[in-house]
Structure 1
């Protein structure tokens, strides 16, 4: 697996032998074509939940984001993301205004804590295992909104099995677009313009 486009194009991503389900290049390209078209990646703060190989967050950094927080519960997988980030920092295209850090924690616990949000992220990637239940997805979305990780202008990208139930965004949020790519369903979730800030 490699970075598809941008300043780090071609950089290899360290990939665990088992335990993760990396987003296919076809789906990743479709996701980033959409985000690029919306102009949301330039100078963005990006949160990558269930980071796995870090492919989505690192692709965002490559395409113009300035800050990445990658959250991954598996210590071996997180260690590989740390390794990839270290490689990026040695790349001649890395600049001092870029930031990337890896947090070893369950995505659900991170979102529920509200710790470290430091203001809403511009883009949030959620790519849980296909077995992650819809109810848990809905709770995660609600926690991200309630605890300040997601706010006005945030684009949340949720990737699930195309056979899973459609997620239900929290009050004041809506699915603004969704696409199926083979076995994968991708949802884009945004704040409804003019919605109040009380999503609890």
Structure 2
């Protein structure tokens, strides 16, 4: 995986092969950040990266100047890898090893952008729990955006606070916001 833009543009990050991850493709990541670049000043926002895996999305935000990034994953190896990488690049990423759903139930901080990249084989009920907990617990700022990455075969358009989706190859991003 590589960092697409910002101060670390072009840097390659090689994750250990034993991590149970599926990093966002460069094509999909570039398209997503082109959308976000038109809506946000990256140095003025706070980001929550759920199911953060290798930290791919967190690194991209950090490279673009975001100072408040929290990455949550329940896999010790993923959290350790993100910590090591963030330290090596001096990136402001705080990691939390936790079950994402428990974190969402117990957290009370608000974020400008919440990005979730759960396993593609999640049942729709588990996907639906993500926006449900985020909006019920008021974790998204008023002008904030929740983005869930999922397979093009998963339809989340029926969920509350759904706004729209964008498809890139086999990847899909569904966007949720306060109505």
Q: Which residue of 2 aligns with 1:107?
A: 100
Deviation at 1:87, TM superposition (A): 0.9
- Matches of 1:134 and 1:57, distance apart in 2: 25
CA contact 2:148–2:174 (8 Å) conserved in 1: yes
Alignment TM-score, normalising by the size of structure 2: 0.92
The 1:162/1:33 distance shift into structure 2, 3 A limit, reads same
| 1:140 and 2:130 aligned | yes
TM-score under structure 1 length normalisation: 0.83
Q: Following the alignment from structure 1 to structure 2, what is the Cα–Cα distance between the partners of residues 191 and 67?
A: 22
Cα distance between partner residues in 1 of 2:89 and 2:123: 34
Structure 1 runs, 4 residues or longer, greater than 4 Å off: none
Query: Residue by residue, what CA displacement relative to the aligned partner does 1:23-69 show, whole Å, maximum 9, x if unpaired?
Result: 00000000000000112533210000000111111101211312100
Matched residue SS, 2:89: helix
- Structure 1 residue 169 displacement after superposition: 3.6
2:32 and 2:118 map into 1 onto residues whose CA distance is 16
The equivalent position to 1:187 in structure 2, one of 165, 174, 178, is 174
- Is the 1:81–1:102 contact (alpha carbons within 8 Å) kept by the matching residues of 2? yes
Distance change in 2, residues 1:167/1:71 (3 Å): farther
Residues paired across the two proteins, number: 178
Of residues 144, 154, 157, the one that matches 1:164 is 154
The alignment yields a C-alpha RMSD, in angstroms, of 1.6
Distance across 2 between alignment mates of 1:144 and 1:40 = 22
- Corresponding residue for 1:25? 26
Partner SS, residue 51 of structure 1: coil
Pair 1:14–1:106, CA change in 2 (3 A): farther
Shift of 1:161: 0.5
3-state SS of paired residue (1:111):
helix
Tell me how far 1:166 sits from its aligned partner. Answer: 2.1
Q: Are the equivalent residues in 1 in contact too, given 2:58–2:93 (CA < 8 A)?
A: no
Larger CA Rg, structure 1 vs 2: 1
Equivalent-residue separation in structure 1 for 2:89 and 2:83 (angstroms): 10
Task: Could you tell me which runs of 5 or more consecutive residues in structure 1 were left unpaired when the two chains were aligned.
Answer: 193-200
